[in-house]
């Protein structure tokens, strides 16, 4: 209870404090401290849930089970490390005159609020509040995407706002339909949107309405997950915003949006006794993997390249959850974790690399290893990890997903293998010359934050070699819940 | 009167008005009139919510009525009017497709939404179930408006009117969402509007115009 309040209250207090502190030079440190405290509270909550099982508190409005608690821990962790990375990154941006103090005040305050919306979306038991939190997540980040006020960043932010706004409006319609179906079973009032209540009576919910609701929910939250063909906002928002924002969008927002899809899927599966929801998710997932993999080879901008890679990986996870079953769900959860960690590590390295060479164009970035071996190797190892090379964790999850696909959905295997191969070729051929060869890198005025990069990569490496028993147990419990 | 209670007839009337206003917005060229139409649509929504509340004895819907009245009839149109005055953009709205064709597409969309709503309406136990198709049609028409308009403000009005359609769907099919959810949605809409206000100034500062053709530089494979 106290842990849960802490997880939600610390970011809000942090946002207020940072809005008041504003332009002081220690604001970035306060941001780190607030994110760190949130992480501590999240760990306490995790320990509690593992020890005592799922908890349902505050008039049934908040619900924590193994499925969302691992995402809460992950979200708080990546939020914390990104805050550490953002400190030197934003200082360099400020010294180069790209950002002013008032903009940094907005940035820090909104960063904390964004973390709050993510954690609220994960912890709430109310499907309506989940919607509200997802919409609020867009609102808090839209001004961050346009932080540099360049024409391209304004365009990216506008696209982000309108496309995600329209998408999320579809999800609201889906939520209304869900409520409509639930009200007939549970009666009017607050109870009919609570996930735990819905889950208890899911077999009695009207299948036609729930199928229609799921289509709207999948399209709505799928837009935020970046599933093809609803992905248009994602590469622009990732490329034009400041790099810490790209890291949290890729590492957190996409996961949480997918979490909303999976929560809806559990309800629909229970009501509709066909494989309708599964097929829809597999279809969207596979389409995203294939299209994103082929678009990777056409990218000239480094951050866009990795944004497309995020679409590809979200497609893989959606496909895994679409297949369902204990192994695919386990792999999907593991993939969510390792993708989130690896991709944010890559964005940290990419962020400093673009500062070193003062360009985001792949052609302009050369020979990072010569000037700073830590950064160059960080980017290279991150890239190899995200492409699914053993012994990193991404290999383990992709391998599990592939073997499940071969057994249960053999038709999909050639598409998956081709896409993974194409993505590998496209990304390696671009990243390799950036890391090795003649250098274009310059010195940075501050020490870059390399610790978060290697901390993330170390965890990903560990997950590839050995998943701690309690974590594996935790994934298994969550996988059972998803069904 | 075929046994339809009086309040249900008023709701049907309001539903028809809502649809009519959605079409009027689709056809409206002037941005100021567009805002007035949006405010009227909000009013129709508020009246229909109040009538549902009165006719079916759902007191919590009065709260929702007050919220709609405050937000969609007073605050948002006021913000939009102020924005337009401050930005000094009273020009006519240029559509991508001419208006008669847009209207024809709109009619097709209405037929489509009615068909989509039939299976759900049959399940609804509420007296207002026949209006679900109209609510869906309003959402579709607003969507069409967003697609066919080039300028930023009409797009946003389309977005807000889509929210109206969704709220109407919520009241007509289910007697409204739980209050905490409605409050949350209202907060999101309001904050969204304020952020957009800031955003319009940023766009204007950068491009000297609110025409979205300037915002088409980022292409898929650049």
DSSP string covering B53-107: HHHHT-THHHHHHHHHIIIIIIIHHHHHHHHHHHHT--PBPPBSS-HHHHHHHHH
Handedness of CA A158, A161, A163, A165 (dihedral sign): negative
Tell me what pLDDT residue B136 has.
Answer: 86
Tell me what pLDDT residue B222 has.
Answer: 43
DSSP string covering A273-300: -SSHHHHHHHHHHHHHHHHHHHHHTT--
Q: What is the ipTM of this complex?
A: 0.88
Count A/B contacts: CB-CB distance under 8 Å: 136
Mean pLDDT across B145-165:
85
Q: How many CB atoms lie within 10 A of CB B215?
A: 22
Beta-carbon separation of A131 and B216 below 8 A:
no
**Least confident piece of the model among A332-341, A394-403, B44-53, B80-89:** B80-89
Contacts of A426 in chain B (CB under 8 A): none
Q: How confident is the model at residue B187 (pLDDT cuts 50, 70, 90)?
A: confident
Tell me what pLDDT residue A77 has.
Answer: 96
Tell me what pLDDT residue B196 has.
Answer: 84
The two tokens of residue A150 are 């360049």
The three-state secondary structure class of A63 is strand
Report the distance separating Cα A18 and Cα A3, nearest Å.
Answer: 22
Residue among A155, A160, A195, A237 with most chain B CBs within 10 A, to mutate: A155
Q: How many CB atoms lie within 10 A of CB B74?
A: 12
- Interface check for B124 against chain A (CB to CB < 8 A): the answer is yes
CA of A331 to nearest chain B CA: how many angstroms apart?
A: 31
Q: Torsion angle, CA of B71/B77/B81/B83, rounded to 10 degrees?
A: 50
Among chain B residues, the shortest Cα distance to A139 is held by B192
Beta-carbon separation of B206 and A172 below 8 A:
no
Contacts of A300 in chain B (CB under 8 A): 222
CA of A421 to nearest chain B CA: how many angstroms apart?
A: 20
Contacts of A161 in chain B (CB under 8 A): 192, 195-196, 199
Among chain A residues, the shortest Cα distance to B192 is held by A139
Q: How confident is the model at residue B127 (pLDDT cuts 50, 70, 90)?
A: low
- Can you name the residues that pair with A62 across neighbouring β-strands? A57, A124
- Give the CA radius of gyration of chain A: 21
Residue whose structure tokens are 């939020």: A79
Block means of pLDDT (10 residues each) for chain A, 483 residues, are 89 92 82 95 90 84 88 95 94 89 91 95 93 92 89 89 88 89 77 88 88 92 91 91 94 94 92 88 95 92 94 96 92 94 95 90 88 90 93 93 93 94 94 85 83 93 89 86 81
Handedness of CA A241, A92, A255, A313 (dihedral sign): positive
Contacts of A215 in chain B (CB under 8 A): none
Tell me what pLDDT residue B221 has.
Answer: 43
Tell me what pLDDT residue A274 has.
Answer: 84
Handedness of CA A263, A265, A268, A273 (dihedral sign): negative
Among chain B residues, the shortest Cα distance to A151 is held by B206
Among chain A residues, the shortest Cα distance to B121 is held by A209
Task: Identify whether the C-beta of residue A61 lies closer than 8 Å to the C-beta of residue A129.
Answer: yes
CA of A24 to nearest chain B CA: how many angstroms apart?
A: 24
Q: How many CB atoms lie within 10 A of CB A213?
A: 28
Tell me what pLDDT residue B39 has.
Answer: 94
User: Across the interface, which of B125, B177, B221 has its CB nearest the CB of A179?
Assistant: B177
Q: Which helix (H) or strand (E) holds A5?
A: helix A2-21
Cα–Cα–Cα angle for A281, A70, A169, rounded to 5 degrees: 45
Report the distance separating Cα A333 and Cα A340, nearest Å.
Answer: 11
Beta-carbon separation of A295 and B195 below 8 A:
no
Q: How confident is the model at residue B220 (pLDDT cuts 50, 70, 90)?
A: very low
Among chain B residues, the shortest Cα distance to A302 is held by B222
Tell me what pLDDT residue B1 has.
Answer: 42
DSSP state of A251: I
DSSP state of A149: -
DSSP state of A226: T
The two tokens of residue A360 are 């985001």
User: Across the interface, which of B178, B196, B212 has its CB nearest the CB of A189?
Assistant: B178
Beta-carbon separation of B187 and A193 below 8 A:
no
Q: List Cβ<8 Å contacts ≥24 apart for A17-22.
A: A18/A105, A18/A108, A18/A109, A18/A112, A19/A105, A19/A109, A21/A105, A22/A101, A22/A102, A22/A105
């Amino acid at each position: 209870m106290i842990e849960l309040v802490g997880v939600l209250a610390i970011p809000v207090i942090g946002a207020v404090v940072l809005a008041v502190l504003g332009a002081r030079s220690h604001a970035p440190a306060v941001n780190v401290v607030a994110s760190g405290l949130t992480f501590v509270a999240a760990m306490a909550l995790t320990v509690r849930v593992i020890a005592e099982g799922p908890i349902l508190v505050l008039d049934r409005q908040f619900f924590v089970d193994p499925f969302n608690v691992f995402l809460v821990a992950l979200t708080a962790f990546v939020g914390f490390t990104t805050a550490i990375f953002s400190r030197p990154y934003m200082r360099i941006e400020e010294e180069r005159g790209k950002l002013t103090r008032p903009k940094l005040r907005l940035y820090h305050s909104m960063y904390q609020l964004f973390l709050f919306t993510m954690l609220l979306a994960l912890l709430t038991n109310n499907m309506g509040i989940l919607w509200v939190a997802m919409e609020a997540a867009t609102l808090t980040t839209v001004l961050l995407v346009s932080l540099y006020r360049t024409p391209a960043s304004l365009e990216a932010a506008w696209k982000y706002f309108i496309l995600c706004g329209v998408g999320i409006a579809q999800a609201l319609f889906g939520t209304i339909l869900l409520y409509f179906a639930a009200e007939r079973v549970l009666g009017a009032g607050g109870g009919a949107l609570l996930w735990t209540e819905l889950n208890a009576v899911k077999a009695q919910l009207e299948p036609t309405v729930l199928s229609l609701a799921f289509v709207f929910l999948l399209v709505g939250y799928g837009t935020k997950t970046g599933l093809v063909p609803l992905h248009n906002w994602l590469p622009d928002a990732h490329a034009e915003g400041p790099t810490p924002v790209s890291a949290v969008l890729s590492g957190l927002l996409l996961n949480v949006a997918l979490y909303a899809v999976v929560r809806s899927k559990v309800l629909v599966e229970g009501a509709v006794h066909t494989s309708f929801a599964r097929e829809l998710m597999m279809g969207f997932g596979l389409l995203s993997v294939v299209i994103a993999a082929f678009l990777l080879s056409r990218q000239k901008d480094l951050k866009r390249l990795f944004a497309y890679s995020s679409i590809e990986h979200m497609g893989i996870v959606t496909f895994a959850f679409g297949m369902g079953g204990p192994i695919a769900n386990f792999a999907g959860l593991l993939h969510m974790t390792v993708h989130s960690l690896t991709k944010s590590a890559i964005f940290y390295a990419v962020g400093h690399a673009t500062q070193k060479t003062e360009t985001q164009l792949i052609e302009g970035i050369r020979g990072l290893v010569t000037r700073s071996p830590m950064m160059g190797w960080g980017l290279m190892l991150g890239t190899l990890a995200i492409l699914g090379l053993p012994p990193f964790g991404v290999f383990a999850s992709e391998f599990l997903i592939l073997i499940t696909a071969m057994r249960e959905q053999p038709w999909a295997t050639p598409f998956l293998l081709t896409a993974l191969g194409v993505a590998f070729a496209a990304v390696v051929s671009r990243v390799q010359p950036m890391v090795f060869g003649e250098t274009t890198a310059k010195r940075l005025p501050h020490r870059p934050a390399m610790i978060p990069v290697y901390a993330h990569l170390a965890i990903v490496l560990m997950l590839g070699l050995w998943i701690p028993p309690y974590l594996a147990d935790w994934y298994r419990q969550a996988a059972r819940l998803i069904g | 009167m075929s046994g339809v209670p009086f309040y249900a007839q008023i709701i049907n009337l309001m539903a028809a008005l809502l649809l009519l206003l959605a079409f009027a917005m689709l056809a409206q060229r002037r941005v100021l009139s567009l805002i007035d139409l949006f405010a009227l649509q909000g009013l129709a929504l508020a009246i229909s919510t109040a009538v549902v509340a009165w006719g079916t004895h759902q007191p919590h819907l009065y709260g929702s009525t007050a919220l709609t009245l405050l937000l969609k009839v007073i605050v948002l149109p006021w913000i939009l009017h102020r924005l337009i005055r401050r930005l000094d953009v009273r020009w006519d709205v240029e559509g991508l497709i001419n208006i008669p064709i847009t209207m024809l597409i709109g009619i097709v969309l209405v037929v489509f939404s009615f068909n989509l709503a039939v299976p759900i309406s049959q399940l609804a136990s509420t007296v207002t179930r026949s209006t679900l198709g109209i609510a869906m049609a309003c959402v579709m028409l607003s969507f069409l408006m967003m697609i066919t308009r080039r300028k930023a403000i009409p797009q946003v009005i389309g977005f807000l009117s889509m929210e109206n359609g969704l709220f109407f769907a919520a009241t007509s099919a289910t007697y409204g969402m739980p209050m905490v959810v409605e409050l949350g949605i209202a907060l999101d809409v309001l904050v969204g509007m304020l952020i957009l206000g800031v955003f319009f100034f940023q766009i204007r500062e950068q491009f000297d115009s609110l025409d979205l053709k300037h915002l088409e530089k980022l292409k898929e494979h650049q």
